[in-house]
């Protein structure tokens, strides 16, 4: 079958679906380091992993509304200035399993680890687009509301066997500060097959679905990409919409991810001896917004403590500060005395003052995306 040549995966990856392959690491792996090693990085696929054998023949075509359509080989992309961007990738379906406990939702079940933080190395999309005559301009009149579509080589059943695709606005694609990359490295190593070898898009601050892997074509188009994953999936609906009354065209494709925060040092239910407990996890927001604050409660939300936040050790983390990685998560840590059985909660505030919803019920949606409700874990104190 098409699934006969899948790459090897680390045995600690918890498999949520085999074909296509979807897996996430245990919670504890995420807080073991600021950068997530590719072995522990979640894998989110909609079809078999493509095989690219003759790398010197591999090329990306750039066409559509451009003056000079081009085919770029890996050597052409490597000849452009190389950037290393630390960016967190998060699947819109992260924490879906918890949402489905309120009411069933459609989609692959994920615990809290459909997220990872890596250094992506590659060319800036804005530089690539200059090669076909599109200047680095953010003026809307110049760009005329156009979009940049990314097309892969994988075969997805949602696309009737066609490739995975997505688009972003041309204004974001041509803006060097948006740091959109065509990446060929992850954490200093060549991308591996699971993560898009030989070349993938990385759109920092945006749900993972727009970071197309195994990139084959870039099209400059007048309208948003009409593919399944833009128009019939990865859209946020209110709790009143169900599969009988859904009208997909009433919503826009989700782009930036909202502020998120998760405790990773504990499972959903824990037994422990009363005493001091270190509570650790991640917090991240989309659109380049930093994390202003992380609040932790060890009494079910009656009182709150502020957690300390960090990215690289040694440098103090300041939200949106000059030395912070603006597209990356922060890890947080707080130590508390736990004397009785209780509920521990974490929630974050981003640099725009956005907060997380308290209850998952209030943001339930039929596709089970963007579960950013306060993260809760139960602790049973045992003598």
Task: Output the CA torsion 47→53→56→57 (10° steps).
Answer: -60
Which of the residues 302 through 341 are near ligand MTE (CB under 6 A)? none
Residues 6+ apart with CB under 8 A from 104: none
Binding mask 211-240 for ligand MTE (x = CB under 6 A): xxxx--------------------------
Query: CA separation (Å) from 369 to 69, 122, 157, 258?
Result: 36, 29, 20, 11
Instruction: Residue 228: name its binding partner from ligand MTE, Mo ion, none (Cβ under 5 to 8 Å by kind).
Output: none
Place of tokens 């993938």: 200
Pairing relation of β-strands 342-350 and 215-221?
Answer: unpaired
Instruction: Residue 46: name its binding partner from Mo ion, ligand MTE, none (Cβ under 5 to 8 Å by kind).
Output: ligand MTE
Rounded to whole angstroms, the Cα distance separating 188 from 119 reads: 7
User: Of 86-94, 337-345, 353-361, 363-371, which part binds Mo ion (CB under 5 A)?
Assistant: 86-94
- State the minimum distance, in angstroms, from the CB of residue 67 to ligand MTE: 28
Rounded to whole angstroms, the Cα distance separating 249 from 247 reads: 6
Among residues 91 and 115, whose Cβ is nearest to Mo ion?
91
Instruction: Residue 171: name its binding partner from Mo ion, ligand MTE, none (Cβ under 5 to 8 Å by kind).
Output: none
Residues 6+ apart with CB under 8 A from 76: 131
Three-state SS at 90: strand
- State the minimum distance, in angstroms, from the CB of residue 323 to ligand MTE: 27
Per rule CB under 6 A, is residue 27 in the interface with ligand MTE? no
User: Of 36-44, 140-148, 260-268, 316-324, which part binds ligand MTE (CB under 6 A)?
Assistant: 36-44
User: Of 131-139, 210-218, 318-326, 364-372, which part binds ligand MTE (CB under 6 A)?
Assistant: 210-218
Among residues 44 and 367, whose Cβ is nearest to Mo ion?
44
Closest CA to 218 of 256, 180, 258, 250: 180
CB-nearest residue to ligand MTE: 208
Per rule CB under 6 A, is residue 43 in the interface with ligand MTE? yes
Which of the residues 176 through 205 are near ligand MTE (CB under 6 A)? 195
Rounded to whole angstroms, the Cα distance separating 81 from 272 reads: 52
Instruction: Report whether 109 contacts 96 (CB < 8 A).
Output: yes
Pairing relation of β-strands 14-17 and 43-44?
Answer: unpaired
41: enclosing H helix or E strand: none
The pair of three-digit structure tokens given for residue 166, joined into one six-digit string: 């997505």
- State the minimum distance, in angstroms, from the CB of residue 114 to Mo ion: 7
345: enclosing H helix or E strand: strand 342-350
Which of the residues 72 through 91 are near ligand MTE (CB under 6 A)? 89, 91
Among residues 121 and 208, whose Cβ is nearest to Mo ion?
208
Rounded to whole angstroms, the Cα distance separating 86 from 168 reads: 20
Per rule CB under 6 A, is residue 95 in the interface with ligand MTE? no
Q: Which of 36, 88, 117, 152 binds ligand MTE (CB under 6 A)?
A: 152
Q: Give yes or no for a cis peptide into 229 (omega within 30° of 0).
A: no
Q: Which of 89, 134, 206, 209 binds Mo ion (CB under 5 A)?
A: 209
Pairing relation of β-strands 275-284 and 330-338?
Answer: antiparallel
Instruction: Report whether 211 contacts 150 (CB < 8 A).
Output: no
Rounded to whole angstroms, the Cα distance separating 121 from 207 reads: 19
Q: Which of 27, 43, 44, 146 binds Mo ion (CB under 5 A)?
A: 44
Biggest distance spanned by C-alpha atoms of the chain: 73
- State the minimum distance, in angstroms, from the CB of residue 135 to ligand MTE: 28
Q: Which of 21, 40, 41, 58 binds ligand MTE (CB under 6 A)?
A: 41
Instruction: Residue 187: name its binding partner from Mo ion, ligand MTE, none (Cβ under 5 to 8 Å by kind).
Output: none
Per rule CB under 6 A, is residue 42 in the interface with ligand MTE? yes
User: Of 83-91, 128-136, 291-299, 371-379, which part binds Mo ion (CB under 5 A)?
Assistant: 83-91
- The residues binding Mo ion (CB under 5 A) are 44, 91, 208-209
- The residues binding ligand MTE (CB under 6 A) are 41-46, 89, 91, 152, 154, 164, 195, 208-209, 211-214
């Amino acid at each position: 079958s098409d699934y006969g040549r899948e790459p090897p995966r680390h045995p600690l990856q918890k498999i949520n679906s085999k074909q296509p392959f979807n897996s996430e690491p245990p919670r504890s792996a995420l807080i073991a380091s600021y950068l997530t090693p590719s072995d522990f990085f979640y894998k989110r696929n909609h079809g078999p992993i493509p095989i690219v054998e003759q790398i010197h023949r591999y090329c990306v075509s750039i066409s559509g509304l451009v003056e000079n359509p081009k085919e770029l080989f890996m050597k052409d992309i490597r000849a452009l200035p190389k950037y290393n961007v630390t960016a967190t990738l998060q699947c819109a379906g992260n924490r879906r399993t918890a949402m489905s406990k309120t009411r069933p939702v459609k989609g692959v079940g994920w615990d809290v680890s459909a997220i990872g933080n890596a250094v992506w190395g590659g060319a800036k999309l804005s530089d690539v687009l200059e090669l076909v005559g599109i200047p680095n301009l953010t003026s809307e009149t110049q760009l005329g509301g156009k979009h940049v579509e990314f097309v892969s080589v994988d075969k997805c059943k949602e696309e009737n066997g066609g490739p995975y695709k997505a688009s972003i606005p041309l204004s974001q694609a041509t803006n060097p500060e948006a740091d959109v990359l065509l990446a060929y490295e992850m954490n200093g190593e060549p991308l591996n097959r699971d993560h898009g070898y030989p070349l993938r898009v990385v759109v920092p601050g945006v749900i993972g679905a727009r970071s197309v892997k195994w990139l084959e074509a870039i099209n400059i188009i007048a309208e948003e990409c009409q593919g399944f994953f833009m128009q019939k999936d990865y859209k946020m609906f209110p709790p009143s919409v169900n599969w009988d009354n859904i009208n997909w065209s009433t919503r826009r494709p989700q782009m930036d991810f909202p502020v998120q925060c998760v405790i990773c040092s504990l499972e959903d239910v824990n037994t422990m001896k009363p005493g001091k407990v270190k509570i650790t996890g991640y917090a991240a927001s989309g659109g380049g917004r930093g994390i202003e604050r992380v609040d932790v409660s060890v009494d079910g939300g009656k009182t709150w403590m502020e957690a300390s936040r960090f990215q690289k050790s040694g440098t103090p983390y300041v939200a949106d500060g000059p030395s912070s990685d603006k597209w990356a998560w922060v890890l947080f840590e707080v130590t508390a005395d736990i004397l009785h059985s209780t509920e521990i909660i974490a929630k974050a505030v981003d640099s725009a003052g956005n907060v997380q919803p308290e209850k998952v019920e209030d943001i339930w949606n039929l596709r089970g995306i963007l579960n950013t409700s306060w993260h809760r874990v139960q602790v049973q104190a045992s003598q």
